[in-house]
Amino acid sequence: MSSQWEDKSKPHLNIVFIGHVDHGKSTTVGRLLLDTGHIEQHVIDKNEKLASEAGKAGFGLAYVMDGLKEERERGITIDVAHKELFTPNYYFTIIDAPGHRDFVKNMITGTSQADAAVLLCAANDGVNAQTREHAFLAKVLGVKQLIVNVNKMDISGVDYSEDKYNSVCAEVDSLLKVAGFKPDDVPKIPCSSFNGENLYNKSDNMKWYKGQTLFEAIDGIQMPAKPVDKPLRLPIQDVYKISGIGTVPVGKIETGVLHAGKTVVFNPSEQSAEVKSIEMHHTNVAKAEPGDNVGFNVRGLAATDIRRGDVAGYADNAPAYVRHDETFVGQIQLMDIPKAIGAGYTPVFHAHTSQVAVRFVDLLENSKTKEANPPFLKTGDAALIRFAPTKPMAIEEMGNFPELCRFAIRDMGKTVAAGVCIKIEKK
């Protein structure tokens, strides 16, 4: 079944639904797709029957997103499910964030950079630890536009109360401020995702609310500008040696414009070469812009001279990097660390396409408690840290290139934190 607004030539955006595990992310998405005509009622009915049989009555909507058998049995979201949502203005890909571990890594490596996020906060529960973490995370991961779904307005004890909504909004606003969002710019919509109230259809039970529905707020998101006027930054994903052509680096342009015939610099490999030709979708092009995935042939470089994790730019504004004897200061949000960590901790940093082991040199501040030089940090803390990479690493400062300042910190096979580089301390 397709939506009345379906048109893939519309401007495309990625939107992610985040928030505490039980606050109704999957139900919100399922209900939104149902009420806007993207899926048919009989699909929900079939899912509801399966849900009831599994002792999960009421999970029929959630099952739309939670397609995997294991997820259905556990009632949680594991895989990142991609669903399309068409609105009058846009063509959206909905990214359903499975908790946050791998989602964080995907956001950093650019496989699912979300332009906007819907943060769920249940009215009966308010802001809790995971709501806080996800708000910080959205900011750290570069989500510019946020919408809050104050969900479960229907449940007993909340009973569509405007006072209850206002008190949750006050809680959410103070969180948004701390996380670095402007609360006035963030729509906060009282909803019952389960009943489909204020998602697509206005609620008869909340006549006191005069604002937009969730669907209208999503359709009202601003398209981010393509940073074509910034200097070129092109993180390299792979380098191929193609017989008869030569060395062909491949990657996605983050900022600026790549021109055939110009000379590019690769850092931290400190190599430079002329771009002979650029190929996109198997077609030769004279130039390529942010968001374009390109392969380009470079003159005079061996495939071993440059590598994944390098960033290409022009010599007049070469990509920044930190040598192994230099440091950088970053702001991080800790999500899931088995025990407390201190100076000397050396996990792996994933920044754009690079992976480098990085040492925690100094813990400068616990941003949550405002304690200077804390002896250690634990799950849920946000902090300012001085880092030293164990080998040269391409990264940019937040103020210069927010697109390339982000990193995920991984240890023991999971994402333990996410952060941004604030300042590179050059020797």
Q: What is the pLDDT of residues 246-284, one digit of tens each?
A: 999 999 999 999 999 999 999 999 999 999 999 988 899
- The predicted structure's pLDDT at residue 99: 54
291 and 150 within one domain? no
Domain end marker among 270, 286, 317: 317
In a domain, 226, yes or no: no
67 and 166 within one domain? yes
Whole-number Å distance between alpha carbons of 354 and 393: 7
- The predicted structure's pLDDT at residue 79: 39
Q: What is the CATH number of the domain that holds 59?
A: 3.40.50.300
Confidence of residue 71 (pLDDT cuts 50, 70, 90): very low
In a domain, 246, yes or no: yes
Whole-number Å distance between alpha carbons of 193 and 203: 11
Confidence of residue 81 (pLDDT cuts 50, 70, 90): very low
- Of 143 and 209, the one with more pLDDT: 209
Q: What is the pLDDT of residues 388-426, one digit of tens each?
A: 999 999 999 999 998 899 998 999 888 888 899 999 999
In a domain, 42, yes or no: yes
In a domain, 258, yes or no: yes
Confidence of residue 68 (pLDDT cuts 50, 70, 90): very low
- The predicted structure's pLDDT at residue 111: 64
In a domain, 308, yes or no: yes
- The predicted structure's pLDDT at residue 62: 64
Q: What is the pLDDT of residues 325-373, one digit of tens each?
A: 999 999 998 887 878 999 999 999 999 999 999 999 999 999 878 899 9
- Whether 223 has a pLDDT exceeding 90, the answer reads no
| CA within 13 Å, CB half, 391 | 10
Helix locations, 75-161, DSSP H: 101-109, 129-140
Whole-Å CA distances, 142 to 117, 230, 296, 338, 345:
10, 17, 28, 26, 25
Q: How many domains does the chain have?
A: 3
Whole-number Å distance between alpha carbons of 396 and 404: 5
Q: Any idea which of 46-60, 229-243, 347-361 has the lowest mean pLDDT?
A: 46-60
- Whether 74 has a pLDDT exceeding 60, the answer reads no
Whole-number Å distance between alpha carbons of 92 and 84: 6
- The predicted structure's pLDDT at residue 63: 59
- The predicted structure's pLDDT at residue 189: 98
Residue 344: CB atoms within 10 A of its CB come to 8
Give burial (CB, 10 Å; 0-12/13-18/19+) of 223.
Answer: exposed
* Number of residues assigned to the chain: 427
Domain end marker among 281, 297, 317: 317
* H/E element, 179: helix 162-179
In a domain, 7, yes or no: no
291 and 188 within one domain? no
- The predicted structure's pLDDT at residue 72: 45
Average pLDDT, the chain: 88
| CA within 13 Å, CB half, 75 | 14
Confidence of residue 59 (pLDDT cuts 50, 70, 90): low
203 and 257 within one domain? no
What's the count of helices (H) and strands (E) in the chain, helices before strands?
A: 8, 24
327 and 267 within one domain? no
390 and 285 within one domain? no
- Of 84 and 3, the one with more pLDDT: 84
327 and 309 within one domain? no
Q: What is the pLDDT of residues 191-221, one digit of tens each?
A: 999 999 999 999 999 999 999 999 999 999 9
Residues whose CB is less than 8 angstroms from the CB of residue 287 and which lie 6 or more positions away in sequence, other chains included:
257, 258, 259, 260, 278
- Is the distance from CB of 381 to CB of 409 less than 8 angstroms? no
Strands (DSSP E) found in 161-292: 188-190, 234-242, 246-252, 258-259, 263-267, 271-280, 283-285, 287-288
94 and 141 within one domain? yes
Range of the domain at 92: 12-219
299 and 339 within one domain? no
- End-to-end Cα distance, the chain: 60
269 and 122 within one domain? no
196 and 52 within one domain? yes
332 and 283 within one domain? no
Confidence of residue 78 (pLDDT cuts 50, 70, 90): very low
Token couple for 418: 């996410």
Whole-number Å distance between alpha carbons of 422 and 385: 10
Range among 96-105, 131-140, 358-367, 399-408 rated most confident: 358-367
In a domain, 139, yes or no: yes
- Is the distance from CB of 334 to CB of 348 less than 8 angstroms? no
Q: What is the pLDDT of residues 17-31, one digit of tens each?
A: 888 777 788 889 888
Domain end marker among 290, 317, 344: 317
- Whether 48 has a pLDDT exceeding 80, the answer reads no
In a domain, 131, yes or no: yes
Q: What is the CATH number of the domain that holds 250?
A: 2.40.30.10
